[in-house]
Structure 1
Amino acid sequence: MKSLKTNNSQERVPSEDGFGIDILGLNSKRSPKITSKLTKKRAKPQKGLSEIHKTYEIGETIGFGTYSLVKFATNKKTGEKVAIKICRRENSREMAKKEFEILKSLRQSTIIQPKDFIENEAENESYLILEYFEGMTLDRYVKEHGPLEEKDTEKVATALAECISYLHSNGIAHRDLKPENILINEDKEIKLIDFNISKKGRTKLVGTKRVTKFSKIFYTQISSPLYAAPEIRSKRLYTESIDIWGVGVIIFTCLFGRIEDFAELYNSAKSFKRIEDYIISEEISSLSLQRLLIDCLNEDQDLRPTAAELSTYLN
Structure 2
Amino acid sequence: MNNTDDKATLLVVDDDQDLLQALSRSLRKERTRWDMTFVDSPEDALTILDGFSVDLLISDVRMSERDGMSLLVEARERCPHLQVILMTGMPDIDAAIEAIKAGAAYYLTKPIDHDKLITVIEDALSHRKQPLSGGQAAGLRQLRTPRLIGGYRIVRPISEGNMGSVFLATKEVDGQPQEFALKLLKLSSSPAEAREAACQRFTREAEIAFQMEHPNIISLCEYGIAMQDQVPYMVMDYFPGVTLDQYISERPRIDHKLCLNILLQLAGALTEVHRHVLCHRDLKAENVLIDGAGHIKLIDFGVAKITNSSLTQTGMVVGTPSYLAPEWLSNQPEVDHRADLFSFGVLAYQFAVGVLPFEADTLPALIRKIVREVPISPTTIEPSVPAGLDRLILRLLAKDPNDRPADACAVADELLLIRSGMQGSEY
TM-score by length of 2: 0.56
The answer to whether the Cα contact below 8 Å between 1:74 and 1:80 also exists between their aligned partners in 2 is yes
Decide which of 69, 73, 94 is 2:165's aligned counterpart: 69
Closer, same or farther: CA 12–103 of 1 in aligned 2, 3 Å: farther
Closer, same or farther: CA 133–12 of 1 in aligned 2, 3 Å: farther
- Runs of 5+ consecutive residues of structure 2 not aligned to the other structure: 1-11, 18-23, 36-45, 53-77, 79-141, 188-194, 417-427
* Post-superposition offset of 1:62: 0.7
* Post-superposition offset of 1:192: 0.5
Deviations 1:199-250 (A, max 9, x none): 2349xxxxxxxxxxxxx99432111122221112222232221110111111
Q: Which has the higher helix share?
A: 2
- The letter of the residue matching 2:341 is I
Decide which of 168, 176, 184 is 1:86's aligned counterpart: 184
Deviations 1:278-308 (A, max 9, x none): 3242314422211211111111112111222
Report the secondary structure of 1:80's partner residue: strand
Closer, same or farther: CA 88–295 of 1 in aligned 2, 3 Å: same
- The letter of the residue matching 1:299 is K
The answer to whether the Cα contact below 8 Å between 1:93 and 1:125 also exists between their aligned partners in 2 is no
For residues 47 and 172 of structure 2, the distance between their equivalents in structure 1, rounded to whole angstroms, comes to 15
What corresponds to 2:94 in structure 1? none
Closer, same or farther: CA 59–242 of 1 in aligned 2, 3 Å: same
- The letter of the residue matching 2:50 is K
For residues 256 and 14 of structure 1, the distance between their equivalents in structure 2, rounded to whole angstroms, comes to 32
* Post-superposition offset of 1:87: 1.0
For residues 129 and 98 of structure 1, the distance between their equivalents in structure 2, rounded to whole angstroms, comes to 14
For residues 13 and 311 of structure 1, the distance between their equivalents in structure 2, rounded to whole angstroms, comes to 40
Report the secondary structure of 2:302's partner residue: coil
- The letter of the residue matching 2:352 is L
What is the percent sequence identity of the aligned residues?
24
For residues 288 and 262 of structure 1, the distance between their equivalents in structure 2, rounded to whole angstroms, comes to 21
For residues 350 and 13 of structure 2, the distance between their equivalents in structure 1, rounded to whole angstroms, comes to 18
For residues 413 and 248 of structure 2, the distance between their equivalents in structure 1, rounded to whole angstroms, comes to 26
What corresponds to 2:315 in structure 1? 219
Report the secondary structure of 1:157's partner residue: helix
Within 5 A, what are the aligned runs for 1:164-179?
A: 164-179=270-285
* Post-superposition offset of 1:100: 1.2
What corresponds to 2:83 in structure 1? none
Closer, same or farther: CA 132–271 of 1 in aligned 2, 3 Å: closer
Decide which of 380, 386, 410 is 1:309's aligned counterpart: 410
Which has more radius of gyration?
2
Decide which of 200, 209, 215 is 1:103's aligned counterpart: 209
Q: Does 1:185 align with 2:284?
A: no
What corresponds to 1:279 in structure 2? 378
For residues 218 and 144 of structure 1, the distance between their equivalents in structure 2, rounded to whole angstroms, comes to 38
For residues 291 and 370 of structure 2, the distance between their equivalents in structure 1, rounded to whole angstroms, comes to 37
What corresponds to 1:242 in structure 2? 339
TM-score by length of 1: 0.74
- The letter of the residue matching 2:181 is A
Decide which of 395, 400, 409 is 1:300's aligned counterpart: 400
- The letter of the residue matching 2:232 is S
- The letter of the residue matching 2:271 is S
The answer to whether the Cα contact below 8 Å between 2:224 and 2:234 also exists between their aligned partners in 1 is yes
For residues 370 and 211 of structure 2, the distance between their equivalents in structure 1, rounded to whole angstroms, comes to 42
Runs of 4+ in 1 over 3 A off after TM superposition: 11-16, 41-45, 169-172, 216-219, 264-274
- The letter of the residue matching 1:287 is A
- The letter of the residue matching 1:303 is D
Closer, same or farther: CA 97–14 of 1 in aligned 2, 3 Å: farther
- Runs of 5+ consecutive residues of structure 1 not aligned to the other structure: 1-10, 17-21, 203-215
* Post-superposition offset of 1:117: 0.9
Q: How many residues align?
A: 275
What corresponds to 2:325 in structure 1? 229
RMSD, aligned CA: 3.8
